[in-house]
Each structure stands twice: as structure tokens, then as C-alpha cells.
Structure 1
Amino acid sequence: MRVLYVVEQGAVLRRAGELLLVERDRETLARVPLLRLQLVLLFGNVHVTTPTLATLLERGIELVLLTADGEYRGRLVGPESGSAELRVRQLEAARDEEFALELARRFVRGKLRNQGVLLLRELDEHPDLRSALDALRDALLRASRAGGLGGLLASEGYGSGAYFTALAQLLPASLGFSGRQRRPPPDPVNALLSLGYTLLTQRAVSALRAVGLDPSVGFLHQFRPGRLSLALHLIEEFRPAVDALVLRLLKDGELTRDHFAPPDPERGVRLTPEGLRRFLAAWEHWWDQRLLVAGTHRPAREFLFEQARRLARILRAPAEPYLTVPLEAWWADQPSNASDLR
């Protein structure tokens, strides 16, 4: 998936032939071919000419509006694509309690398992992670046995709580991270996690729309106006991959305290413009990695689309199981003791 990020405040996005130009103060900052472009994300005060908007709509290129800090505002999309029959089936499946529970169970277990894989990679240097791993194994077992969505969500909350407490042990205490907190993020780690999850969600929305599914009709949570439920469910198994990227950037010093603005009472901790550019560059490189999954080498970004396609196939033919992407694929040196996280 080819994505354009525009972060320069006051910039203008305009079309010139088969190119999108990013301009500011009569200077051209970037030239991006329209060919194969699928998603444009605008951060903050960025302007788009009306002819450019028309081109994006005509070519099915989605435009996502974010604040300068990376919070989601909304999106501009063209005409709906895909089969109405598939959307009807999606709605029917969401009302089928047994089917919805089993699919939701797959989402939750994929997330919990991949959280465990991330911690397993750090176990040699941090033996005290064993208690969190035990909690994740217990959460996986509880999720397998849950007889309803309430029990399943409780299992997810129990496992993820232990996971984020353990994640704090892997990061410098100076970062002030003690667990997952949002709205506003109180520390650099939470700020990066929130931004990463937002970017991942927007890609999931595009993937679901591309295969003809409604991103708002999910299986794990109750319907809520404005909530992109299915997109949030689709990214569950990929969230630990975002965590792994954040962990690497902070531990390796690619992002430091200097790349974050002072805390704001209403907005919390946010990246500086330079920090945002660094994160987006690392983000694109991370998702360009070629992964080996089920005997196939492909860029990591493609597996989100593959999961959307898999979900569409399951809704058409429910006998096919929903298989999650193992986090081990992100590393060549796969942890040998991940087999008990099943």
C-alpha cells in the first residue's frame, strides 16, 4: 500500500499531471506519482486544492485528516465499492452470537499471543517477565473457554494489563511509562503507541473498504456511532508489532526526550515536528520488511490487506477458520519457546 504523509504546516497539496505536489511558500517540497497511491494522510494545517480533491475521489485514493499531533479527525472517500450481498452477510454475522464470539475469540487470542511473543524475546535479559508471561498464558486459556463476549473482554483486559506493566520494565524509567494511558497520553511511550495505533487503524479501514466490508460493523464490541469497530478488531493481532517498533526506537535512541514537546494539560505529550518525521520514516521502513508467513515472503504491510481478504472469504464461507499472523515473522531469529503461546 503506497501512502503519502504530509506534515509540513501551511503546505498545499495540488495535482500537476500525474503527480501530486506538496508546496509551501512557492517551494515544491515533494513530488509523488499518483500511480499506485492508495492513501493520503494530512497532519494539521495542510490545504488541498479542489481539483486535487476531485482527482483523489475519482481514483479511489482515500484522504485522512489528522491533527498536527496525529489524532484522527475524519476521512474523504469515493463511492462505495464491493458487494452489497457481502455487507448484508457481515451484518447478519455480527448478529449471530455464536459466529461473532468465535471470530472475536480469534482476534483476542491473536493479540494476546503476539504480546507474549514480544515479551519472550526479552526474557533472557529480563527474567522477571515470567510472571507477565504466565498471566498471558492464563489469559489465552480464559479466552479459549469464555462463553460470551463479556468473559472474552475480561480475558483480554487481564492479559493486556499484565503485558503493559511488563512492557514498562523494558524501557528507561526516565520516560515515565507505567502502563497504557490515553486521552491525553501522559508520556512519550503512550504518545507513540497512540499514534501508531491510529495510523494502523486508518490502513485497516482502507483494507476493509477495498474488499467491500464496512469498517464500522465489528464482532467484539457493541455498535457505537462513529466507532470503526471492525477496523479496530482487525488490527488487534498487529498491535504488538507497533509496540515492538516503539520499543526499538526508544531503546536504540532513534527517538529521545528531545523529540517530544513539553506536556500540555489538554493534549498531553506529543512529538515535535522533527520527531514526527523520524517516526513516520521508521514506520514506513518497519512495514516494508519482508515477512515469511505460511511459506510466502511479502512486505509486512500486505498482511493487513490479506487479513481483510481472509475475513471477507470467511463471511462468504464460514467454514474457513480465521488465522492470525504470528509476530515471530517480524524477526529472523524466532524465539524457540513461543510454541506454548497457543
Structure 2
Amino acid sequence: MSTLYVDRKGVTLRLDGGTLVFEEGGSRVATIPLAPLERVVLRGDVTLSAGLLGKLGQAGIGVLVLSGRKGEPALLMQRPHNDARRRVMQWQRSQDNEFRLSVARELLKRKVGSQRRFLLERAQEDLMHRYELRTAAQRMEAAAQSLMEAQTLAALRGAEGAAAQAFFMGFQTLFAPSLHFSGRNRRPPQDPVNAVLSLGYTLLHAEAVLQAHAMGLDPYVGFLHDLDYGRESLACDLVEPHRCGVERLTWRLFRERVLTVDHFSRVQGACMLSKAGRQHFYRNWSAVAEGLRQSLRVSCAALVAAITGETLSVASSEQEGDHGGSERAEGVGGGL
């Protein structure tokens, strides 16, 4: 187990040697060894000391806190990589428009390719919506060609926007009308599908921040995404090729009725996943997260190599691990 999810009110965490101890009402209720943990996700009324946070940081364990009803994320990171030259070179490279364009194009090419393959896979099985799915895939193929021809970041982003619109046009056909999913919306999500996508994207983004930080990169200095106050632009870049892992998982959770309408409620105008629903989600997320984590590590390593002057590696479809259609495999392998 590399990730620990704590979503329970009234729990106190403390460290006893190399063991994380859970207490309720002064009584020990569970223990988890610290050694295999890479990250801890906290939600709800959980109590832990500053000393424990320090120990987690020293052990290289990141902490993601999802606070409030909407689960707003706050990330506490482990020690950064020791080589500050990487961050200096990253900043220098971020001023090179040609380098930015090459990195951004590669990231978006992988994203669009993964999403398009997913729609074509579904078209083979979903005869009722085959036409809509294939039409969306064709539009994505045209957008992918525009990506390859784009000579500026603005043109690249425009092509990516067209691809995203086409993807969600096809993606929405995969869900029951009772879910009221008609495209991507957020802040807050308005329907169950968007609520699950938002949670998955949040966890994926946190993984990207942790990986970038651990590799000695500054999560705030991106290449596709411009500098923006409070935004971890590099993490936003890194998640792009791996979003389809979240989208595949979301589709499967509703298709297999792991999640249903009954797991959601409306709170202050937002569609919210219940505690029982979150437990189902975390259980299934754990099964696919390691593959996404591995893929992010590879992407970060390739980016470090590119920043420091080595050749930018290019991911083939076989390296992407997409041929099997599994959430765990999606996006694994390849370079940027």
C-alpha cells in the first residue's frame, strides 16, 4: 500500500515508532506501518500533530488535505530534490518559446491520442452510440493534425480546445440520462459524472505536484500553461496526457454501478459525492493510481532530461500502454 486515505470524523493520528496509530475516544482502533507509504490523503475532522507532519515530510511522504464540503485541496510536500540547478534551468527553458512549444505539443498529442483511442474502443462495444463516438473520434483526429501543424502556443491551445470539445461530445453518450451529464463543468460540478471527474483530476494533479517536486522541478513553472498566481502550471502540464485514466475510471464506476445517483447529493448548488461514495471511489482509485503514478514519474524524468539538454523522448502508442484499455495501463511509459 503506497497511499493511505483517511475519511472519518473524530480520528486522531500519531506515530509510534515506525507505525501510524489511529485513535478514537482515546482508544487505539487501527495501525498502519509507515514504511510503505508514499502519500496520505486526509478528509474530514482528522487530528494530527505538527511533529507527525514533520516526520511524514522527512520520510518523503506527501500529505493531501481535502477540506470543507467541496474538498478543496491543500498539499503538504516532502523534502524537495537537492539539485536546485534543475529549477534554474527549468525557468530558463520556460523563456524559450520553441522549447515550450515542443513540450506542449508532445503532452497534448499524447492526451488527444489516448482519449481518441478510448472513444474508438467504446464504439466497438456500444452499437447504440457508435455513430456519435466515431464522429467525435474523427473530429479529434482533425484536431490532432492541427496540433502537429500549430506554430504558436495560442494555436496549439486552440486545437486542444477543439479536441476536448469533441471528446466530451462523445464521452457524454456513455452515461445514462439520469446522470444529467452533458459535458464538462466544475467549480462546482453540477452532476455526478463531473463530481467524480473533479475528484479524480484533483488527486491526479496532486500526484503531478508531488512527482515534480521530488524530481527537483518547480510545480509552478510550466510550458503549456503560462505563469498564473496560485496555479501549479507545470503540474497542469503534466496531468494532460494522463487525464484519460481518470475518464476511463469514471466511465467504469458508473457502467458497473459501483457508483449510482444515490451516492450523490446537492449541497450549496454543487453535486457532492457522499462518504459511502467516496469510499467506493478511493478503493477503485487505488487500483489504477499506481499506473498513473508510474507514468507521471516517467514524464518528469523525460522532462528533466530535456531541460538539462538531452533529447526529448517521444511516446509511441505501445509505450502509452493503451492497447489493453485498462485504467492502470493508460498513459504508462514514453516520454513527455
| TM superposition score normalised by structure 1 | 0.88
1:77 counterpart letter in structure 2: M
Residues 1:303 and 2:303 are matched in the alignment: no
Give 1:127's aligned residue: 130
Distance 1:89 1:21, change over 3 A: same
Distance 1:283 1:78, change over 3 A: closer
2:246 counterpart letter in structure 1: V
Give 1:116's aligned residue: 116
1:8 Cα deviation (Å)?
Answer: 0.5
1:70 Cα deviation (Å)?
Answer: 6.1
Please identify, of 93-102 and 123-132, the stretch whose mean Cα deviation from structure 2 is larger: 123-132
Q: Aligned with 2:223: secondary structure? A: coil
Distance 1:120 1:174, change over 3 A: same
Give distance in 1, aligned partners of 2:155 and 2:177. Answer: 34
1:300 Cα deviation (Å)?
Answer: 4.8
Of 144, 165, 188, 2:148 maps to 144
1:83 Cα deviation (Å)?
Answer: 1.2
1:131 Cα deviation (Å)?
Answer: 1.2
Residues 1:279 and 2:278 are matched in the alignment: no
Of 248, 263, 267, 1:264 maps to 267
Residue pairs, 1:10-159, within 5 angstroms: 10-67=10-67, 69=69, 71-124=71-124, 125=126, 126-128=129-131, 129-159=133-163
Give distance in 2, aligned partners of 1:287 and 1:50. Answer: 28
CA contact (8 A) 1:139 1:155 kept: yes
1:323 Cα deviation (Å)?
Answer: 2.7
Give distance in 1, aligned partners of 2:83 and 2:40. Answer: 25
Of 176, 200, 211, 1:196 maps to 200
CA contact (8 A) 1:71 1:198 kept: no
1:139 counterpart letter in structure 2: A
Give distance in 1, aligned partners of 2:29 and 2:272. Answer: 24
1:29 Cα deviation (Å)?
Answer: 4.2
1:46 Cα deviation (Å)?
Answer: 1.4
Please identify, of 147-156 and 50-59, the stretch whose mean Cα deviation from structure 2 is larger: 50-59
Q: Aligned with 1:219: secondary structure? A: coil
Greater relative contact order: 1 or 2 (C-alpha under 8 angstroms, separation 6 or more)?
Answer: 1
1:68 Cα deviation (Å)?
Answer: 5.0
CA contact (8 A) 2:80 2:214 kept: no
2:299 counterpart letter in structure 1: Q
CA contact (8 A) 1:311 1:322 kept: no
Q: Aligned with 1:122: secondary structure? A: helix
1:14 counterpart letter in structure 2: R
Alignment gaps of 5+ in structure 1:
289-298, 333-342
Of 144, 167, 174, 2:178 maps to 174
Residues 1:313 and 2:317 are matched in the alignment: no
What is the root-mean-square deviation in Å for CA atoms of aligned residues? 1.8
CA contact (8 A) 2:39 2:61 kept: yes
Give distance in 1, aligned partners of 2:300 and 2:36. Answer: 19
1:276 Cα deviation (Å)?
Answer: 0.3
| TM superposition score normalised by structure 2 | 0.90
What stretches of structure 1 move > 4 A for 4+ residues in a row?
Answer: none
Of 206, 213, 219, 1:215 maps to 219
Distance 1:2 1:95, change over 3 A: same
Give distance in 2, aligned partners of 1:200 and 1:62. Answer: 13
1:247 Cα deviation (Å)?
Answer: 0.1
Deviations 1:68-117 (A, max 9, x none): 55634322234432311111111111110000011001111111111101
Alignment gaps of 5+ in structure 2:
327-336
| Alignment: residue pair count | 320
